[in-house]
Amino acid sequence: MYTIPYLPLQALNGRQAEALTATATEVVRSGWYLRGERTAAFEAAFARYTRRAHCVGTANGMDALTLLLMALKAREGWADGDEVIVPALTFVATAEAVERAGLTPVFADIDATFVMSPAEAARRISTRTRALLPVHLYGAAADMPALLALAQEHGLAVVEDAAQAHGLQSDAEAHGIAAAYSFYPGKNLGALGDGGAVCTDDADLAQRIRCMANYGAEQKYRHVCSGLNSRLDEIQAAFLSVKLPLLDADNARRRQIAARYAAGIRSPHVSLPYGGRTDHSVFHIYPLCTPHREALRAHLATQGIETLIHYPLALHQQPLYARHHAERYPEAERVAATEVSLPLHPLLTDQEADHIIESVNSFQP
């Protein structure tokens, strides 16, 4: 129906159809499907890529965050219900992982670049706060230097949700203690199913996560804590090893398209993200904001352009978080009410990008 789909996964994976199919065949024939050499090889490759000493594969991104928080909680002796500050606008898994680790998510408003505002996070710190959990939303880095300084001042851990930001870390020197990744198929590095990972330089933390992800087993049939069953499959790890070499070029192409959008979009009805800057994000998502969202989406649909919204509700507006309904996070609410995600993926052509630009520019509310 759309001539420009939001994300053509079939075409994106089709670029490597032969290698992916050959890899799948190898795994089928190997007779070894979990905790084997393909998982170890991908973990080593992704640790190298993220420039962290350790990478632990998990079943998905939410488990990566959950296990990371569970391991920190156990090691640091945090109590049930201790608080972790998360941005008020993110995919809900960020906050649900905090709850699943037996901790309490506390929301902080975002800033004009859609990520956790250090000043708002500071206002939300209490005697029970144990960690800050910034999200590199849409592929753009949270203000890590300011958040790390804030955390140091208050004795807090910093844990990164990098589910939308594969490849960003190679530019950023300022890191929290660990970062959680998702390999959901639509992410910048996606499996052909679910997958996730934690990357860290902290050997003890990596070891604890590995143990907790495997029923709390320190060695076979010797269980030292209660954990989860959360592992990256051999077949997904093998697919990811085939796909990882394309990631940098894919991210570079995403930035190019973002630069084309920033240079070409000229409409009084929309605002460009980051004031048109494109060097600090891997553009998992290209977020335009407009007070005329439904009309713009309908207009783009008539031009054959599929768009999405990330996200239509801020966390405190979710039915799940009804107890927070009375709270106000003005910037998160503004973005939730006005954001439109334009198609932006490595196979989008200049011609398609120009059609999208012209269609945004011809929009009249």
Positions touching ligand PLP (CB under 6 A) are 60-62, 90-91, 93-94, 135, 161, 163-164, 182, 184, 194, 196
Strand partners, 181: 197
Q: Closest separation between CB of residue 56 and ligand PLP, Å?
A: 14
Residues sharing a CB contact under 8 Å with residue 247, sequence separation 6 or more, in sequence order:
49, 166, 167, 188, 189
Complex with ligand PLP: residue 62 or 288, whichever CB lies closer: 62
Residues sharing a CB contact under 8 Å with residue 252, sequence separation 6 or more, in sequence order:
none
| CA torsion through residues 71, 72, 76, 82, sign | negative
Complex with ligand PLP: residue 176 or 265, whichever CB lies closer: 176
Q: Closest separation between CB of residue 228 and ligand PLP, Å?
A: 13
Helix (H, G, I), strand (E, B) or coil at 66: helix
Q: Closest separation between CB of residue 329 and ligand PLP, Å?
A: 17
Tokens 């992410």: give the residue: 187
Q: Closest separation between CB of residue 310 and ligand PLP, Å?
A: 9
Closest-by-Cβ residue to ligand PLP is 61
CB atoms within 10 A of CB 70: 26
Q: Closest separation between CB of residue 95 and ligand PLP, Å?
A: 9
Cα separation, 179 vs 33, in Å, equals 26
Cα separation, 202 vs 206, in Å, equals 6
CB atoms within 10 A of CB 46: 25
Residue type at position 102:
G
Q: Closest separation between CB of residue 137 and ligand PLP, Å?
A: 7
Q: Closest separation between CB of residue 190 and ligand PLP, Å?
A: 9
CB atoms within 10 A of CB 347: 14
Cα separation, 256 vs 268, in Å, equals 23
Please give the distance of CA 125 from its chain centroid, rounded to a whole number.
Answer: 24
Complex with ligand PLP: residue 60 or 307, whichever CB lies closer: 60
Q: Are 274 and 60 in contact, with CB atoms under 8 Å apart?
A: no
Complex with ligand PLP: residue 185 or 264, whichever CB lies closer: 185
Look up residue 196 and give its two tokens. Answer: 């996730």
Complex with ligand PLP: residue 107 or 363, whichever CB lies closer: 107
Complex with ligand PLP: residue 196 or 346, whichever CB lies closer: 196
Q: Closest separation between CB of residue 263 and ligand PLP, Å?
A: 27
Please give the backbone phi and psi of residue 221, each rounded to the nearest 5 degrees, phi first.
65, 20
Complex with ligand PLP: residue 90 or 359, whichever CB lies closer: 90
Q: Which residues of 320-344 are buried (b: 16+ CB within 10 A; e: fewer)?
A: ebeebeeeebebbbbbbebbbbbbb
| CA torsion through residues 243, 164, 288, 275, sign | negative
Q: Closest separation between CB of residue 91 and ligand PLP, Å?
A: 4
> Is the peptide bond between 311 and the residue preceding it cis, with omega within 30 degrees of 0?
yes
Complex with ligand PLP: residue 94 or 236, whichever CB lies closer: 94
Q: Closest separation between CB of residue 162 and ligand PLP, Å?
A: 8
Strands 104-108 and 83-87, bridge-based pairing: parallel
Complex with ligand PLP: residue 94 or 338, whichever CB lies closer: 94
Complex with ligand PLP: residue 60 or 200, whichever CB lies closer: 60
